[in-house]
Chain A
Amino acid sequence: MSLRDWPIRQKLTAMLVLSSGLVLLLTSAALVGYQYWSFRQTMRSTLSVRGSILATNSTASLAFANDADARELLSALRADPHIVAAALYDRNGRLFATYPGDLPGGALPAAPGPDGYRFQRGNLIGFQPVAEAGGQRLGTLYLASDLAAVDATLRLSGVIAVAVLTVALLAAYLLSRVLQGAISQPVLMLAETARAVSDRRDYSVRAAKLGEDELGVLTDAFNHMLSRIEAQDRALRESKEGLEQRVAERTHELEERNEALRHNAAQLLAANTELDAFAYSVSHDLRAPLRSIDGFSQVLLEDYAAQLDEAGRDSLRRVRAATQRMGTLIDDLLKLARVTRVEMRTEFVDLSVMAREIAAELQRATPDRQVEFAIAQGLEARGDARLLRVALENLLGNSWKYTAKRTKPKIEFGSIEENGGRAFLVRDNGAGFDMRYADKLFGVFQRLHSVSEFEGTGVGLATVRRIITRHGGRIWAEGAVDQGATFYFTL
């Protein structure tokens, strides 16, 4: 584990112990160093004082070459166990007396060195000139002291320093254990809080604040941040719940609507099936009795004409006319039903071409009529060709029918702009209609003219409207009595 990864507690303890230890170490080292240096100075000056005294005392022995006296003098050095060797040299540098007496020959310098005291090869040595009061030099005193005293002092200082250092470090460690809490405690609590947040996603926890220092500010900021996150989290959760609820509501609504739609579709399908069966049955069964009525009326007219007077024959003719009209009604109603039942096939239809074909058919059916057609070119639309043909046949057929009493009948097929789209129109100058009854035009069996005036069943325009409605279009009419009529439709 690198230092970086240490827990903050250990880091702080280590920092405190290390810094106090380093300070103590430097201080102790300086102290011991100074002591060592000063002790050596003291030792040198002590030895030099002793040398001076001894040199002064030995002037007589040297002056009078009394070596026994000299040896006696030197032996006084015995009191100092650190003096390992001493010697007197005469003025010519020859060895005169030595201490201790049994000193091996090579242990002393053969001749005196330069005057002065110095540390040399683990010893403090000194050469002290011996001179008379007058100043004449008589010889040289040599002193050698070992450094055991220095070593002892040094050892003692070292032991004391180590002891102090140990105690001090221990104290620093204990102190740091107590003091580091002031910094580590808030940090640890912050860390603990952060962990709780990230582990449990619990934004309601707060770090305890222990003081007003920078860590206190940090704790405050952290807690504030948590409050903000908590509020946002709550808002988010609430909006999520609201959203989920709305989605659920919408889904439920949609399901209900779907259900209603399915229900409606099923009902529609059932109704359509029923209508289909009804129409089929009408188509087959309703016409047969009519055929019998018409047929046997005709039989009567043909076979029993003689037995009937004119009123009787007229009655039979009326029966036949009514029967045939009933037949037409049934046929028209079936056509209307078929318009609803038939499946739409959408394609591009050229209405202009279709209108011209219908006009030609109308003309062919009644060749003696003179009608002016004005059919615009290139009117196209998307729709079911068969149904649109039925619609156009009805509209143009109506115009054909209602212009029958005009001297200059005119029928027009064209288009106009209508609310940004296009509306087709069929216009004639025929009998027209009263606008007050415009809303009745497109109702089934609704007629604005009597049958004697104009033939018809009142189903044609209802069929047209159903076709236009099936195409998603709209149909309306404008007209005035004897002023012609215009039918507009969009697809």
Chain B
Amino acid sequence: MNPGKILLVEDNPDDVALTMRALKSHNITNDVIVVDDGVQAVEYLLGAKGRPGAEELPAVVLLDLKLPRLDGLEVLERIRADERTRLLPVVILTSSDEERDIVKGYRLGANSYVRKPVDFMEFTEAAKQLGLYWLLMNRAPPVSRTP
């Protein structure tokens, strides 16, 4: 399996636990880095004052939209604004299927938009599909490193 990491940006610990369980139940054992707000997500990827971003970018970012401090769409905007993360695969994984969120998400350069189903069976299935697709099927863009 692809050794790439998954960055899960999710503020709801229940959702984190359920996502981890769903991934695990399908033997997706890749590292999952969990950050529970938008600012942390940005800092992890792009670094903060006096600290560089993650040395190795995740294979995919699973991004919730409703987040404390910086919401998911703003995080996406920052990710796309930075040369290093411009091509990073980002999947919006959220409760809502509000049309404006979908449209704005794609407009800002989301690679995919998945609505979390209420039914846990369906949720597990979605997690599995996402893991399989983004970690196995998909070819990540070549890593461009800033000096």
Contacts and interface: CB of A to CB of B under 8 A. Distances in A.
- Chain A contact-residue range equals 20 to 34
B97 interface: yes
A343 to B, nearest CB: 11
Given A280-B96, A299-B21, A288 B120 contact: no
Given A324-B119, A327-B118, A284 B66 contact: yes
Interface string A284-328: 110110111011111100000000000000000000100110110
Interface in B107-146: 116-121, 123
A270 to B, nearest CB: 19
**Of B66, B94, B96, B116, most A-chain CB atoms within 10 Å:** B96
A298 B120 contact: yes
A299 B19 CA distance: 12
Interface-central residue, A283, A291, A296, A323, by most chain B CB under 10 Å: A291
A338 B95 CA distance: 16
A284 B95 contact: yes
B18 interface: yes
A288 B123 contact: no
Interface in B49-84: 65-66
B98 A283 contact: yes
B65 A284 contact: yes
B31 interface: no
A294 B118 contact: yes
A292 B14 contact: yes
B98 A291 contact: no
Given A295-B18, A296-B14, A290 B118 contact: yes
B95 A280 contact: no
A338 B12 CA distance: 26
A96 B3 CA distance: 193
Given A285-B66, A299-B21, A291 B96 contact: no
Contacts of A285: 66, 95
Contacts of B14: 288, 291-292, 295-296
B53 to A, nearest CB: 28
A291 B66 contact: no
A338 B97 CA distance: 11
Contacts of A326: 118
Contact of B95 (A279, A288, A295, A299): A288
Contacts of A297: 120
A288 B119 contact: no
Contact of A280 (B12, B98, B118, B121): B98
B118 A324 contact: yes
Nearest to A341: B99
B94 A295 contact: no
B78 to A, nearest CB: 21
Contacts of B117: 291, 327
B80 to A, nearest CB: 22
B120 A295 contact: yes
B94 A291 contact: no
A288 B15 contact: yes
B42 to A, nearest CB: 21
Nearest to A279: B98
Contact of B94 (A284, A294, A338): A284
Contacts of A279: 98
Contacts of A290: 118
Interface in A423-444: none
Interface in A344-371: none
Nearest to A283: B96
A327 B97 CA distance: 13
Given A287-B95, A292-B15, A296-B14, A323 B21 contact: no
Contacts of A296: 14, 18
A242 B120 CA distance: 76
A180 to B, nearest CB: 99
B108 to A, nearest CB: 18
A291 B21 contact: no
Interface in B86-102: 94-99
Nearest to B18: A295
Given A284-B95, A327-B118, A292 B66 contact: no
B95 A291 contact: yes
Nearest to A326: B118
A287 B65 contact: no
Contact of A323 (B15, B94, B118): B118
> Among the interface residues A284, A292, A295, which one has the most CB atoms of the partner chain B within 10 A?
A295
Contacts of A320: 119-120
B46 to A, nearest CB: 25
A300 to B, nearest CB: 11
Given A290-B118, A298-B120, 14 more contacts: A283-B96, A283-B98, A284-B65, A288-B14, A288-B15, A288-B95, A291-B95, A291-B116, A292-B12, A292-B14, A295-B21, A297-B120, A299-B18, A323-B118
Which 9 pairs show the lowest CB-CB distances between chains A and B?
Answer: A327-B118, A292-B14, A295-B120, A283-B96, A298-B120, A295-B18, A287-B95, A284-B96, A290-B118
6 contacts: A280-B98, A284-B66, A292-B18, A294-B119, A295-B14, A295-B120
